[in-house]
Chains A and B, each alone.
Chain A
C-alpha cells in the first residue's frame, strides 16, 4: 500500500534527524534555534507566499491561523500532552483573551502592553475558576465539562449586551507603534523582500508586524513550556498522566499540579486571544465555536501529543493544508474529517510522537489508556447495563 510506503519513508526521514539532534551539544543547539527563528522571520516573503498560498494572503495567513494555531496548540499541549487532561473547551480561553483585549482596549482605553499582561492573568484565573470545581473529575467527565464550559463562554458572550451580544465587538485598538523605523531599500533587505517593512508599526494593512509579535509569543511559550517539562512540575505531570492514583500515593499533590497545568495552558490560550483580537479589530462570539477546540486538539494529537515540534507541525498542517487546497474549498472540512480518521488509523501516536509517549504507546498505555473491549488490557471497566 502506498500509505505504508509513506509511513516508512516518514520514519526513515524523522528518525535520523532525531538522532542527530540528540547528539548535538548545547551551543550548536542554540545555533539551530537562532537559525529557525531567523527563518521564521523571513517567511512572510512574497515568493514563499506564491508557492505556499497562491489563493489567499500569505502574510495574513501566517499570523492567523498558522501562527495562532501553533500558539494555541503549544498551550493545549501543556494540558493534554504534558498533564494528560482532556480539554474539549480550550477555545474558551482563547475567547476570554480576545474579549479581554476588546473590552479593556476599546471601552477602558488601556494600552496594549498592559492588556497583554492583564489578559494573561485573567485567562489564567479563568483556568483556575474552571479547574477548581472540575479537576477532581476523571478523564471523560472532565472532557464533557470543559466542552460545556466552552459553550457557556460563547453563549454568555452572545447574551451579554455590554460586550456586543451576537454582534461582538469592533474597533478594537491596535498596539501603539514602538517605532516607525523601516528597513532601507537596499541589499540584502530588498533580496529578502524586507525593504520598506516597518516591523514595529502596527497598522491595519500590513500583517507582518503582528506576525513578528506572534513569533515572539510562540518562542516565549516554547521556552516556558520546555522549562516546565524539565522541571519538578513536568515530572509531576508525567506521573499524573501515566497513573494518577500512583502519583497521589507517591505524595504528588495531583490536584494542585492539574490546576497549574490548566492555568498555564489557559494563559497561553489567552495570549493567543489578545493577539488575535488586536489584529483582526473585530470579534464575534461565533469566532469561538467548539469546532475550533476540536481543531486545536486534533493538531496536538495529529502532530504527536507531548512533543512540541510535533504539535507545531500538526498545527501548521491543520492551518495551512485547507488554505492550500482551496480549489476543493467547499469540500475542505469534509476532507479534513476523513484525513483525521485516516491519520488516526495509520499513525495513532501522531507524526512526531515524544519518546516517552512512544514507550507508553508500546506498552499499550499510550495517552489516556487504551480503549476497553481490548483483550490485551485488563483494567477496571465501567458497565453497560444494570
Chain B
C-alpha cells in the first residue's frame, strides 16, 4: 500500500471535521473521494499534506508513519498536491510558479520545465505572465503542472474541475488519466462525481466526516443511492 490513512480524527477547535476516516491508495491507482460540500474531503487532503494536525489516528506513506512529519518534508517524501482553489501564487510568473513546485528538490530543472510545457502547451505560451492574471482553466493546468514538478509518488488533486467549463473539465480529466498512465498514483477529490467515477479505479463516499461507502468506481456509478445523492437525475451511464 502506498498511502494508508488509518482511522484519523481531525478537529477545528471543538468541531470534529473528520470522525475516524480510513482510506487506502495502492501504487498506480486513481482513487477518488466524492461527497457533498463540507463532507471533509478537503480536510482529508490537507491532513495528508500535513497542513492540519491529527487528533488521533495515523497516516502511513511508503511504509513509514508520517503522522507527525512536518508538511514541507512530506513533499520531499513524495506527496504532491494541487490544492483547492488552485493555490496559484498570484504575483509570480508561470515559470516561477512551476519552479516553486520543484522547491524541495535540488539540481537543474530545465528538463522538468520542458516536460510541464509539453504536457500543457498553454503554459508555455504564457510562461512570463503573472499567475494571478490567468483564466481558471490555465490556473488549474498550472496547479497540476506545478505539483508534478516535485516528482511526487502520489498526486493529491482537490476539485480540479471546480468552476471550469465542461470542455475544459474533459481536457483536465484526460490529462489526469495521462499522468496516471505515466506512473503517478492519484488521489482525486471531486464534487463532479460522474466524471470522477468514470476515471477512477476505486472510490470512497464521504458524508459529514465519515466514509459511508467504498467500492470499485464502476460499481458506485451504478449504485442507486450514489446515483440519487451525487449523480443527479440527468446522469446516464
A residues engaging B (CB < 8 A)?
A: 359, 362-364, 375-376, 383, 385-386
Contact = CB atoms under 8 A, between A and B. Distances in A.
A361 to B, nearest CB: 9
B91 A385 contact: yes
Interface in B12-50: 12-14
B51 A375 contact: yes
Contacts of B12: 363
B51 A376 contact: yes
Contacts of A363: 12-13
Contacts of B52: 376
Contacts of A359: 13
Given A383-B91, A385-B91, A375 B71 contact: yes
Contacts of B53: 376
Contacts of A385: 91
Closest 6 interchain pairs by CB? Answer: A362-B13, A363-B13, A383-B91, A375-B51, A375-B71, A362-B14
Contacts of A362: 13-14
A241 B52 CA distance: 26
A383 B92 CA distance: 10
Interface string B109-145: 0000000000000000000000000000000000000
Contacts of B13: 359, 362-364
A363 B51 CA distance: 15
Most buried by A among B13, B51, B71: B13
A376 B71 CA distance: 11
A330 B13 CA distance: 44
Given A359-B13, A362-B14, A385-B91, 11 more contacts: A362-B13, A363-B12, A363-B13, A364-B13, A375-B51, A375-B71, A376-B51, A376-B52, A376-B53, A383-B91, A386-B91
A374 to B, nearest CB: 11
Contacts of B14: 362
Q: SS class of chain A's interface: helix, strand, loop or mixed?
A: loop
A386 B92 CA distance: 8
Interface string B97-119: 00000000000000000000000
Interface size class of B (residues with CB under 8 A): under 10
Contacts of A386: 91
A386 B89 CA distance: 12
A385 B52 CA distance: 27
B42 to A, nearest CB: 10
A359 B15 CA distance: 12
Contacts of A376: 51-53
A289 B160 CA distance: 55
Nearest to B14: A362
Nearest to B84: A378
A359 B13 CA distance: 8
Nearest to B85: A378
Interface string B70-105: 010000000000000000000100000000000000
Nearest to B87: A378
Contacts of B71: 375
A364 B14 CA distance: 12
Nearest to B52: A376
B76 to A, nearest CB: 16
14 contacts: A359-B13, A362-B13, A362-B14, A363-B12, A363-B13, A364-B13, A375-B51, A375-B71, A376-B51, A376-B52, A376-B53, A383-B91, A385-B91, A386-B91
A236 to B, nearest CB: 24
A212 B83 CA distance: 61
B170 to A, nearest CB: 29
Nearest to A385: B91
B75 to A, nearest CB: 13
A43 to B, nearest CB: 40
Contacts of A375: 51, 71
B82 to A, nearest CB: 15
B38 to A, nearest CB: 16
A306 to B, nearest CB: 18
A46 B72 CA distance: 62
B86 to A, nearest CB: 13
Contacts of A383: 91
Contacts of A364: 13
Q: Determine which residue in A364, A375, A383, A385 has the highest number of CB atoms from chain B within 10 A of its CB, and name it.
A: A375
Nearest to A362: B13
A359 B12 CA distance: 11
B41 to A, nearest CB: 16
